[in-house]
Structure 1
Amino acid sequence: MKAGFTSIQWIVLVLLLGVVSACSFSEGSGNLLGAGSVPPGAMSGNAVERSSGLTAGSLNGTGEGDSFDGGAAKGVSESNDDGMQAAASSDADNPIIVGFSMDTFQEERWMKDRDMFKEAALALGAQVRIMVADGDDAKQIEQAETMISEGVDVLVVVPHNAEATAAIVQKAHAAGIKVVSYDRMIKNADVDLYVSFDNVEVGELQAKAITRLVPKGKYVYIGGADTDNNAHMFKKGVFNVLQPLIDKGDITVVYDQWSKDWRPANALTNMREALKSNGNRIDAVIAANDATAGSVVQALAEQGLAGRIPVAGQDADLAGAQRIVEGTQTMTVYKPIKRLAETAAELAVKLAKGETVDADRKVNNGKTEVPSVLLSPIAVDKENIDDTVIADGFHAREDVYKSGSGFFTTLSP
């Protein structure tokens, strides 16, 4: 028999190749084949369905975030080419690429920041690259280096460690990239812009609310992460209000401790120790955020004290809002994140374009006076919760008033 294919064999081979090709690129599948193929379900939302605008091999779809860079999307990235389309409509030849380096999604609010920042940046015609470090300093620096090497035009950073992330600023500036410190200040670095809320005022609002209810007595302060500059500013604001009363002898702070990495489990340990060391004789608690306040409420509930001792938090998390309605948490501080995200996105794009940014404040970060835009926080309690977080659409009313859902989450036996 002669070597080679017969005519019939050639026809069968061509038909088989056609079937394979049709299956590989069937309408609506959106799968990119080859070494960088994206498996179905590997990316959240509708990213897989609309990935045809990207080149094969550009994605691995292994986590959270957004990649519009056209290169390898490592680690915590997913793709959504809405950003490509928006940028193309405004500047097809040279779209602005904004890198967003985030610390964590541990607290509910940070997912809101991510979504609102992305939406605002896309509306401005920019592309967005988001990476999340999961509270790991080395990982955050490495991710920032990745975005710098990929050529982002501006880098927006939510630092995990205020000191360690100074290295990100140095590396970005060496590449000619400006850095915006988002919500939390990066310490001891030449940060180009700081966009946040007045975090000292956050602490002052907490302390004013609690001292109105308890002008005299034994106080506990459950702080946030010692490595987070915001935690220090919250505490400064609290003690701006408490110190005159401490000096008068009206208030005694019987327990004051940081909660490592903002972890609720660490706050729970702290609050249990505060109660134990004081024989449960405590009159008020101020916690650095709503997640730590939830741990405070759990520890109080274990001793039958939930709802009997005023507790302050901040961030206006859903669980915190639910506890306010139920009466186990006294107040929170609402920071309208939509305003923060939109302001930061707008100013980051301006910096990337070399435009002038109006910053009416300056905040010292240990090295320089950083141009700053500080928004005003809002104290929220049972009386105004409908007119603030609910009226703004931050939380749905039916979720806030959902019975029994915000009491506490058990963290350990």
Structure 2
Amino acid sequence: MNAMTRRVVIGTAAVSMALSLAACGKAGDDNGDEGGKDGGNKTIGLLLPESKTTRYESFDKPLIEAKVKELCSECKIDYKNAGEDVSRQKQQFDQLMAAGVKVIILDTVNSSAAKSWVEAADKKGVKVVAYDRLSEGPVSAYVSFDNEKIGQLQGQGIVDALGDKAKDSNVVMINGKESDPNAALFKKGAHSVLDKQVKKVVYEQTGEWDPSIAGKKMGTAITQLGKDGFDAVYSANDGMAGGIIAALESAGIKDVPVGGQDAELAGVQRILKGTQAFSIYKPYKPEADLTAEVAVKLLNGESIDSLITKKLDSPSNKGIPSALIQAQVITKKDIAGTVIKDGLFKASDICTADFAKACSAAGIK
């Protein structure tokens, strides 16, 4: 065999090997029919927005993980928390896409920013389930609570806490993060009640879902309005309510009803102690379980019509398959029959030494 012949044979063999490898790669690609065999399409991505609100790490994550495992023993969850950073969440989303994940549960930091990510996922056949917050873009499903209704419950909670004085009362509002679509719905719902049933909302700012920022905003309100310039405080969640109440106590202000949301442990304890008037109990397990069921069905190419009964619109997309779970106001008298009965907390979790007397007075053992 001369040199020319050897070069032809070697070149032909190299081309043949390259074609063979390309064919193998295509057969095992996540986009192919056999993609699941490498485990890529048996992984569900879970992206949560932040950890300052205790619910995400303490409840949402473990509940979703447990339900997915129950429904699909071979499935895995690839979990990431954005720490309230849009850029970080974008990077996490891209990492899941690059890893071949076919279903992503997304609780977005910024709904409008996520629009382009969801569009990119849709073009690649990746299903995105919007969890708790409705992301823009062509999401495959949305599971949350009726967030405008929650705002109405919060507003009514303030009115009820004020009692007969409500129509002559001024209210301070500390809202959630403006880039969170839920915060806008809470605010809208609360205003629909407060604007009709109290004298005036005299100060309104965003607390960014941050107890420290909410406390500072409350301090500014006290400075501008004076200690007697308001009668109640609406806080969009319990975390911020903690910062607000600390600011009130620091200023020596007592007996001003403060309402929150999420039924966090610290919030429930403040309700028992009497420094927080109420919270909103959102049963996380039904929300998490339903989301897990939707995600597993989408992963398996099954219909979700039996699970999703509503159609909702986002600013960019119409008719999004949706399911909304109901919430309720809880005051001191409701704690035993809600968060304890449903297993969100044990009585021993709530009734630590500092709250033992308050628990006893409320009949919690």
Q: Structure 2-normalised TM-score? A: 0.81
Q: Residue in 1 aligned with 2:316?
A: 367
Aligned partners of 1:93, 1:276: CA distance in 2, in Å? 61
Deviations 1:313-367 (CA, angstroms, capped at 9, x unpaired): 0001000000000000000001111111111000111112222213222222101
The answer on 1:253 being equivalent to 2:205 is: no
**Looking at both structures, which has the greater relative contact order when contacts are Cα pairs under 8 Å and sequence separation is at least 6?**
2
Superposed CA deviations along residues 186-245 of structure 1, whole A, max 9, x for unmatched, are: 13x111111001111111111112212322201011001001001111111101111223
Is contact 1:334–1:377 with CA below 8 Å preserved after alignment? yes
Q: Report the secondary structure of 2:226's partner residue.
A: coil
Give the conservation status (yes or no) of the 8 Å contact 2:195–2:201. Answer: no
Report which of the two has the higher share of helix. 2
Residue 405 to residue 172, structure 1, CA distance change in 2 (3 Å): farther
1:325 equivalenced with 2:275 (yes/no): no
Pick which of 199-208 and 360-369 moved more.
360-369
Identity of aligned residues (%): 35
How far did residue 304 of structure 1 move? 2.0
- Specify which of 272, 278, 302 is matched with residue 355 of structure 1: 302
Q: Which one of 187, 194, 208 corresponds to residue 242 of structure 1?
A: 194
* Residue type at the aligned position of 1:401: C
1:194 maps to 142
Match of 2:156 among 198, 202, 208: 208
Residue 61 of structure 1: aligned partner: none
Written as runs of structure 1 = structure 2, the 5 A alignment for 1:9-408 is: 96-111=42-57, 112-125=59-72, 126-187=75-136, 189-214=137-162, 215-216=166-167, 217-245=169-197, 250-260=198-208, 262-281=209-228, 282-306=230-254, 308-358=255-305, 359-369=308-318, 370-404=320-354
Amino acid at match of 2:284: I
The DSSP-based 3-state class of the residue aligned with 1:305 is coil
* Inter-partner Cα distance in structure 2 for 1:384 and 1:92: 49
State the one-letter code of the partner of 2:61: R
Deviation at 1:167, TM superposition (A): 2.3
The number of residues matched between the two structures is: 309
CA distance in 2, matches of 1:171, 1:129: 19
Amino acid at match of 1:278: L
Kindly indicate whether the alpha-carbon contact (under 8 Å) linking 2:273 and 2:355 is maintained by their aligned counterparts in 1: no
Q: Deviations along 1:239-259, whole A, 9 cap, x unmatched?
A: 1111223xxxx4210111112
Q: Distance in 1 between matches of 2:351 and 2:332?
A: 11
Cα distance in 2, alignment partners of residues 253 and 93 from structure 1:
57
Kindly indicate whether the alpha-carbon contact (under 8 Å) linking 1:194 and 1:372 is maintained by their aligned counterparts in 2.
yes
Task: Report the Cα distance in structure 2 between the residues aligned to 1:313 and 1:234, rounded to whole angstroms.
Answer: 11
Given residue 109 of structure 1, which amino acid in structure 2 is its aligned partner? R
Residue 156 (structure 1) shift:
0.6
Paired position in structure 1 for 2:20: none
* C-alpha RMSD of matched pairs (Å): 1.7
* Contact 1:154-1:348 at 8 Å conserved across structures: yes
Cα-to-partner distance string for 1:374-412 (whole Å, 9 max, x where unaligned): 000121110111000011110111222224379xxxxxx
Q: What is the distance in 2 between the residues matched to 1:172 and 1:123?
A: 26
Offset at 1:93? 7.4
Q: In 2, distance between residues paired with 1:239 and 1:123?
A: 41
Partner of 1:49: none
| Alignment partners' CA distance in 2, 1:257 and 1:404 | 32
Q: Which ranges of structure 1 fall in alignment gaps of 5 or more residues? A: 1-90, 407-413
Q: Select between 324-333 and 271-280 the one with higher mean Cα deviation.
A: 271-280
Partners in 1 of 2:286 and 2:268 — Cα distance? 20
CA distance in 2, matches of 1:114, 1:405: 28
User: CA 1:196/1:329 → structure 2, altered by over 3 Å: closer, same or farther?
Assistant: same
Give 1:172 deviation, angstroms: 1.2
Q: Which amino acid aligns with 1:300?
A: L
Using the alignment, how far apart are the partners of 1:403 and 1:163 within structure 2?
A: 45
Segments of structure 2 that go 5 or more residues without pairing to the other structure are 1-35, 357-365
Give yes or no for contact 1:145–1:171 (8 Å, CA) kept in 2. no
